[in-house]
Structures are given as structure tokens and as C-alpha cells.
Structure 1
Amino acid sequence: MAGGRRPHGGEDHISGLPDDLLHVILARLGSARAAARTGVLSRRWRQVWTQHPKLVLHNEDELPPALFLDSVDAALAAHSAPTVEFLSIFLPIDAPRVSACRVAPWLLFASQRVMGKLHVFVPPDPQMSSSPTPEAEEEEEKELDIPACAGATRIELYLDETWRLRILQTAGLFAALTHLTISAARVEGSELSALVTGRCPRLKELYLNSTIDISIRTDSLESLCWRVSNTKRLEVIGPRMERLTVCNIESFMISAPKLAELDWDSQVVVYDPRRHVFADVGLDRRLRLLKINSESIVASLLQRFDSVDELKLDICIPQEIFGYQSFLNETNKLPICDTLSVSIHVNYHRLVPVMRHLLRSCSTTRKLSVAICNSHGYDLMYPCPSSCPCRLAENCRLDDITLGSLEEVEISYFTTSEEELEFVEQLSRCNAAVLKKIVIYYTWRPNHTPLTKESCDKVRSKCSSNLKVEFYVISNMTRWVRFD
């Protein structure tokens, strides 16, 4: 109202808004601190934010670390709503070390109020080395109690790696919890096993980046992501588990008859069927998704399954002839796949021979997706030996490869290099009767030619006339748009 005058009832329009609408307005502000500042608008608004069901405590104002921590404590103390749908506390990545005892009251508040999502991010001490000595780890380690959060449906804890989490066993269930993430901080295997097995009856997704050896039996778990580098033994019995990600586990026994997606992301430990046992996984030898990173492509894992809906491979071949020959041997037989997605690092060996070898196993493949991770000149500065099989003329052509079911081809991170042009030209010469279109996603990189109409025409000129080639570029760093 003009001049700030109140209506005849004596109350201004803002104060007359219903609480539900005020909460919607506050939610759009994005943080509890911004919501608290609305108190200057109206006397009634001074307390409205304390009833808001969402508490977002991030340091958007870039307060000094100590002042921001005090503001988090004050916001939690002032908040009077009986339940909180969403609590997010995010400390800046460059913040000084925070003690575990400072965070403990935040988790206690969450255990009493949160009836939805809890997200806490505490960065590691920036002064610590990336690989502290065992003596330093023991000296620095602090304990943080995790109380039962009966109403929390999703908990994500990204904590200091020197902390040890103690999951209190005295009383209480995580009765509503469906998703749990624990990253960096350490957890005793026995405590985590007791939590997952007996106190989380609805847990469906478990993401771990911190623990040790563990045995889990759960009837509710559907997805397990295990990215722990020091796990020597993992045992999981999950009759409903459909998705599994493992990383650097020395040995495991997995019983998951419904497993449909396997992501093998080990950088150090190679799959060994004697130590990595799938007790009753893939009884029909079929998966929906099999994803294997560059360090773990071995024939025994690829041949563990006869068919997959989508096969994702990350290819990075060492420079020596032995490395290339090892790649040929380990990928000599691929499982039948409807979609083949390849991320290939073009460092030392030629692109076309590598793809030729893979495509030999793809006569029934319907879709091919190739992400070309360009070498930035490594292939020229450090080429493989001249006697490498990738240099043989018969391995540099695809016109004798039959891809009778291939309908779609996508090529990403395309830069119009000569090697990429050669690949597109050879691909268009395959015996692929139903292939009508190739979609190319161009990515600009320094020292590479920008995409132009002329370069698009050059690519098309190398393809067969009945093949349509479309180009896409990124627009405003957010979405792909058609270039021509």
C-alpha cells in the first residue's frame, strides 16, 4: 500500500498472509539466514522463519568461519517448528577444521526434529596432507556419535576423514530411512553391519566411502555403492538388490539374485573369480547394465555374463605393444549387448583399430555411443612402436565389419581431428544396412579447429550419401543445440 499505510484492520498486507504462503516465499530465498532477514518487513515475520519446515544453512554471505558456525548454532537453537522436512548444513570447502563435538549437537537436533532429508558437509582440514601417516591419523581421529533418526528418510554425511563415527546401539530405529550416504569419516564394520541389518527396515540405497570389512544381510536394500579403498572382505546378502558399484575390494561374496546393474570401478584390484564371488547373481547370465573402468577390463568379468542391455567400457591402453595385445586378449569376446557405450582415451594407439576390434563382437548391437577422450597430442609425441598391431593396414578399415542391427550412433567430445574424421568415414562404410544417422556432439578444446559449416561439410563428404550426419554444440554451458 502506498506510503506503507496499513489497511483498516490495522494489519499490513504482508502480515495478513497465511503461514503456508509465507513458508513458500521463504523457501524461495534459499537459506535460513536470508529468511531470517525478512524480519525487517513485518513484526510477525520475525518469527515466521523459525517455523519454516526447511533449514538451509550455507555460508552464502561468506561470513568468517567462526561467525558462520555461531550462526548455525543460533539458527538451530531459535528454530521452533516441531518437525523439519529438510536440514542442510554445508561448511565451505576452505573452512578451518571443525571439531566433532561442534557437529554433535547438529546431529542431535536432527534426530529429534528431521522428518525428511538430512545433509551435512564438513570438509577435511586443509592443512592435512592428502596421505597422513598412521601415527598422525591415530592422533587426529575424533569420535562423533550418530543418534537414531527415526523420522529421517534420507541421510547424507560428508565428514572429516579423521573422524570415527559411532553408531549408538542403545535404542531406536532409523525407521523411515531409505537412503544413507557416509563419506570420508570412518565406521566400524560391526557397527555399520548392525545398523543396516537390524535398524534400517526400509533402507533401499546405501552409498559408502568409508568403512572396513563388513557383512550385511538386508531384505530391503536395492542399491549398494561401495567406494572404499581399504576393504579386504565384503559379504552381502541382498535378495532385493538390483544395483551394485564396487571399488578396490580385495575379496567379496555377493548374493543378489535380482542384480541387474553392475559397475566395476576398481583402479587397483582386478576382478578374480576366485576372490570375487557372485553366489547367485545373474543365474540367467544376463544384466541390464555392465560398466567396467579402464583398469579392470578382463575377459573373466566380461564373459561372466552372456548378454547385457548396455555395456559401458572405459578404454585406456598403455603405450607398449604388450598393453595393446593385452587389450585385444581381454576384449576378444564381449557379451551380446543392445547398446555399446565406449569412452576411449586416444593416447598412444589409433582409434579405428581399437574400435574395429570391439565392433567385431557387435553384430546384434542396436546403438553405439563413443566418447573420444582426445590425447591433446600424446599420440604424436609418444606414439606406440611402429610394429604395434594397431598400425597394420588391415586393422585400419571397417568395411568388412557387419553391424546388421545398428540403428543409432552417437559420437561425443568430437573435435574434427584427422583421426576422428577417419573413424567417421570408416564407420559409414560398415555393413550397417539399417543405420541412417550419426549424431556428433562437438566439444571445443584449445588448439583445435572450431566447428564451422565447412568442417561439417567435410565430415559429411567422407560419409556415404545415404547417411545423415547431425552436429550439436553446447549452448550457454547448459544444453546441446543443433549446429546446422
Structure 2
Amino acid sequence: MEHNDGEIAAPPEDRLSALPVDILIDILLKLRDAAAAARTSGLSRHWRHLWALLPELYFHPATRPNDIRAAIESNEALALRRLEVEVIDPTPESLEVWLPTAADRLSGDLQLSNEVRNGTEGGGAVELPCFEDATGIRLDLGALALAMPPLGVFAGLTELFLSGFELRGPCMLGDAVSSPRCPALRKLTVRGAWGLANLAIHSDSLQEIELANLEPPGDIPCLGNFTIHSESLLLMHLIRVHNMQQLTVFAPALQVLNVLYCFAHGDESTCSEPAAEITAPRLMSLNWKDACEPFTKFNSVGNLEWLTTYPFHVYGQAAQKFSNDWFLCLMQRFVLVQNLRFSLVYLLTQTACPSGCVCDQPPNWKIQELTLSCLQEVTISKLRGTEHEAALIKRLFDWATALEKITIAFHGSIPESKANEFFQMLQSFSRPAICMKGPCFS
């Protein structure tokens, strides 16, 4: 550049490049785009190789599989601590272009997200390689087929999240996540999967398990045996696993267990009767919203602090063979529990009740007494201010002789004026020793 007097001006001072390399790398990381970080090499000679030192790589859907592999191979960071890849309707072959390279290099977390637009029908399965040093793996596969690696040890893996996949291949999921191959695994989450005909987990390290929406298509047989053995399991969620036949949990350190819609739900099943056996001497919180039959066993569960049950339908066909029977069956399993959480379901539209409906009770049922002499605190949410609700709460005051605190929360659709009026009515027949909190909205 020349001034008016013809002299050549000095180039502007590059103060940004004078910053320490660690700060420059942090700046590139904020781009969250490996391709954009690579383009910064054109800024100056000092920036030429900075992108190769990034400990985290982010790839957007437009990135070609070969470019992802090349970027991973060119990475010179001491530890590749995060790899995040977004794809749209990939084929298994396109993912396998770079996954083995990632397995060799990654020592942190992998996140792969598939955005389904047109979908991919048929084809093979994505063969997941063994990530020996990875600490976390999160795969949102969007209904792709997945094959677990038959060999190798995930030595550093502490968290595994799998969602939206059909399990294929000779290696069972339980074999892959059990202690011999995942010795450090603490949290396992499986959602939206099918093809899990038999799942058996033997783990000394697992602390949390969540299984959600494991619902096979109609042409896939219902789940067979399901066994979990864990020496240090702290949290377990089983959500909507359709037609599971058998569930066995042996977990001496298990503290929280959530089982939601795992077995045949709401209709007759072609599977044999479901069975569950839970052995968890340290269990503190149980959320069991599912079938509970006489052969459902809870062994050594004596420290339960929280129990959440299947919803109780006050009337209607939904209250017949399934939900209310399961609710009552579960309640009979636990004589002592510190905190109980359940829902009363009132159908907004009700047709004529069938013969034997739960609301077809003898005339004297309203004067029957319940013994709630240990109940000290109650929270009631989503009230609508009906006469039936007021009658129930009034009876509750009579039954719960040790009640100290009750919190009243109304449904969000209820006007504030109506909520205040209803709350004042409840206060009128409450005992002075009871602390009533409200009204609030939920």
C-alpha cells in the first residue's frame, strides 16, 4: 500500500496472531465447524496448521465422508476429546468410511446425529467399531440398522447412548455393554430401538440405565428374556418396552429403578405372561408404570423411599383388567414406603360403563375407612376444582391423622379466581395443625 507521497506503508500489525496458541485454538473451537476452521489457514502463515491442533472436531451434514476421515487422520492434537458429526439420511457404507478412523483416534466423546428426511430403506447395518479409548458415545441413528462389534474392549467408555436403531448382527447388545467389554461403563441409555429379542447385562460398573421405547415392529417377535446384573447400578429407567416377557434385575447397589410400559400393554399379547424379578437391597426410588402380576417379585427391597405407580383410572373401560389391577398389585408389594406418587385419571368423555366397571361398587363403599396413620406430607397437582376432588381431599384429612403438610396445585387451564375459591373451601375443613400451601398451578 502506498501513501500519497509515494512511500510504501508497513502492513498492519497482526495482533490476533500474536496471541498464545491455546487462545487461538479456543477461538477456532467456537466456530463449531471443522471446515470453517480449516479455511482460517488462509489468514496468515501463523494460522496455517492451527486447525490440525483442534482437540474437538465438528462436521455439518454437507461434509463428505472422505473429508471427515481426512480431517481426523490429519489431526495432530495430543488428545481428540470430542468428535461431533451431523448427517442426513446416510448409508451404512458412508458412515463406515470414517468410523474406524475415529475409533483409532478418539479419546473423548463421539456424537453422531442422523436427521431423517427421506429415509433409507433396506440395506445393511452400520458396524460400530470398538472405541477403546473413547469416554462417551452418543448415536442418534434415525432408524438405521446397527451391529455391535463382536470383539474388543471399550476400556475408557463411561457413557453410552443409543437411539433410533434396529439391532442386527451376531453380537448381542448385552454382551457388548457388560463388564468384560465395558469395564468402566456407568451410564447406559437405549431409546427407540427394536430387534432386542434377548438382552442380558452383567456389569460391575453401571450406575444408570435407561431403556426407552424399545418397541419392535409387528413382524419382530416380542422380547424374550431380559436380565441385568450390576454390582453398582444407581439409576435405571425402562420405558415402553413392548411385549417384554421376562425382566430380571440383580443389582446390590441399585438405588433408583424406573419401569414404564415394558410389558404387553393394554391388550392381549401373543407373548407368554410377563415376569419380573427385582433384587435390589439398596433401592430407594421405584417408578413402576407397567404390568404388575402376582409373579412379579421384588426381593430384598426394604429401604424404599419413593414409589411411583401406574395411573389409577377412576372409571371406564381403561380401569378394567389392566391398569387398576396393576396399580393394586404393586401397592400390595410394599407395606411401608415413605413417599407415594400416583395419578388419578378421570376421562373427560365417558360412555356407558361396561359390566363390572370399577365404579360399580356396593352402596356402602363411600363410608369405608382407610388407615393412613403415617402419612405426613401430600402434594396434589393438576386439580380442576370439582366436587369429587373436594370430597376426596376432605376424606383424606380424616384418614391421614398425622398429616402435617399438603400442597395444592391446579391445572393450568383453571382460572385463578376459581382456584382461590376452591383452595379457601379446602382450608375450611382442614385441621389447624396442617400447613396448606397453594394455590399454585402445574
Out of 259, 263, 267, the residue aligned to residue 268 of structure 1 is 263
1:114–1:415 CA distance, 2 compared to 1 (3 A): farther
Aligned to 1:220: 205
1:458–1:54 CA distance, 2 compared to 1 (3 A): same
Contact 2:423 2:439 in 1 (8 A): no
Quote the offset at 1:261 in angstroms.
Answer: 3.1
Contact 2:312 2:327 in 1 (8 A): no
SS of 2:296's partner is helix
Q: What's the Cα RMSD here?
A: 4.1
Aligned to 2:381: 412
Aligned to 1:373: none
Contact 1:111 1:149 in 2 (8 A): yes
Gaps of 5+ in 1: 1-7, 60-65, 129-135, 348-376, 475-484
Contact 1:231 1:249 in 2 (8 A): yes
CA–CA distance in structure 2, aligned partners of residues 449 and 409 of structure 1: 21
1:453–1:28 CA distance, 2 compared to 1 (3 A): farther
1:303–1:87 CA distance, 2 compared to 1 (3 A): closer
Residue deviations 1:437-481 (CA, integer Å, cap 9, x gap):
4142x443xxx433x25532432322326342224457xxxxxxx
Out of 123, 132, 143, the residue aligned to residue 150 of structure 1 is 132
Aligned to 1:456: 420
Quote the offset at 1:18 in angstroms.
Answer: 1.9
Aligned to 1:186: 167
CA–CA distance in structure 2, aligned partners of residues 141 and 158 of structure 1: 18
SS of 1:108's partner is helix
Quote the offset at 1:338 in angstroms.
Answer: 0.8
Out of 310, 334, 358, the residue aligned to residue 306 of structure 2 is 310
Contact 1:85 1:116 in 2 (8 A): yes
CA–CA distance in structure 1, aligned partners of residues 131 and 330 of structure 2: 47
CA–CA distance in structure 2, aligned partners of residues 73 and 166 of structure 1: 21
Gaps of 5+ in 2: 1-9, 216-221
Out of 245, 251, 261, the residue aligned to residue 250 of structure 1 is 245
What is the letter of the counterpart of residue 252 of structure 2?
P
Out of 464, 467, 470, the residue aligned to residue 438 of structure 2 is 470
CA–CA distance in structure 1, aligned partners of residues 384 and 48 of structure 2: 56
Tell me which moved more, 244-253 or 81-90: 244-253
Contact 1:187 1:212 in 2 (8 A): no
Aligned to 1:202: 184
Aligned to 1:358: none
1:299–1:90 CA distance, 2 compared to 1 (3 A): farther
CA–CA distance in structure 1, aligned partners of residues 42 and 379 of structure 2: 55
Aligned to 2:223: 231
Quote the offset at 1:101 in angstroms.
Answer: 1.1
What is the letter of the counterpart of residue 107 of structure 1?
L
SS of 2:99's partner is helix
Aligned to 1:436: 405
SS of 2:404's partner is coil
Out of 73, 77, 80, the residue aligned to residue 84 of structure 1 is 80
Residue deviations 1:129-187 (CA, integer Å, cap 9, x gap):
xxxxxxx7xxx131333222122011122225342415152xx5321112223331314
Matches within 5 A, 1:12-411: 12-32=14-34, 44-45=46-47, 47-58=49-60, 76=72, 79-91=75-87, 95=88, 97-123=89-115, 126-127=118-119, 140-167=122-149, 169=151, 172-183=152-163, 184-188=165-169, 190=171, 192-195=173-176, 196-208=178-190, 209-210=193-194, 211-227=196-212, 228-229=214-215, 230-246=222-238, 247=241, 248-269=243-264, 276=275, 278=277, 281-282=279-280, 287-293=283-289, 295-301=290-296, 305=301, 308-317=304-313, 319-320=316-317, 322-323=320-321, 326=325, 330=329, 333-335=332-334, 336-347=336-347, 377-378=348-349, 381-382=350-351, 384=353, 388-390=357-359, 395=365, 400-411=369-380
Contact 2:92 2:126 in 1 (8 A): yes
Residue deviations 1:405-460 (CA, integer Å, cap 9, x gap):
333322333444555455445444543434234142x443xxx433x255324323
What is the letter of the counterpart of residue 437 of structure 2?
V
Quote the offset at 1:11 in angstroms.
Answer: 4.1
Contact 1:312 1:341 in 2 (8 A): yes
Tell me which moved more, 312-321 or 34-43: 34-43
1:153–1:424 CA distance, 2 compared to 1 (3 A): same
1:402–1:235 CA distance, 2 compared to 1 (3 A): closer
What is the letter of the counterpart of residue 90 of structure 2?
V
Query: Percent identity at matched positions?
Result: 22
What is the letter of the counterpart of residue 90 of structure 1?
E
CA–CA distance in structure 2, aligned partners of residues 386 and 143 of structure 1: 50
What is the letter of the counterpart of residue 128 of structure 2?
I
What is the letter of the counterpart of residue 314 of structure 1?
Y
What is the letter of the counterpart of residue 260 of structure 1?
Q
Count of matched residue positions in the alignment of Structure 1 and Structure 2: 404
What is the letter of the counterpart of residue 470 of structure 1?
G
Quote the offset at 1:89 in angstroms.
Answer: 1.8
Residue deviations 1:33-58 (CA, integer Å, cap 9, x gap):
66567678776456544422222335
1:384–1:46 CA distance, 2 compared to 1 (3 A): farther
What is the letter of the counterpart of residue 94 of structure 2?
R
1:342–1:69 CA distance, 2 compared to 1 (3 A): farther
CA–CA distance in structure 1, aligned partners of residues 297 and 384 of structure 2: 31
SS of 2:103's partner is helix
Contact 1:117 1:155 in 2 (8 A): yes
Quote the offset at 1:337 in angstroms.
Answer: 1.0
Contact 1:193 1:215 in 2 (8 A): yes
More helix by proportion, 1 or 2?
A: 1
What is the letter of the counterpart of residue 213 of structure 1?
N
Tell me which moved more, 334-343 or 200-209: 200-209
Quote the offset at 1:245 in angstroms.
Answer: 4.1
CA–CA distance in structure 2, aligned partners of residues 158 and 20 of structure 1: 32
Contact 1:158 1:185 in 2 (8 A): no
TM-score normalised by L of structure 1: 0.68
What is the letter of the counterpart of residue 15 of structure 1?
S
SS of 1:409's partner is strand
1:386–1:213 CA distance, 2 compared to 1 (3 A): closer
1:443–1:69 CA distance, 2 compared to 1 (3 A): farther
What is the letter of the counterpart of residue 402 of structure 2?
A
Quote the offset at 1:100 in angstroms.
Answer: 0.7
Quote the offset at 1:99 in angstroms.
Answer: 0.6
Contact 2:125 2:168 in 1 (8 A): no
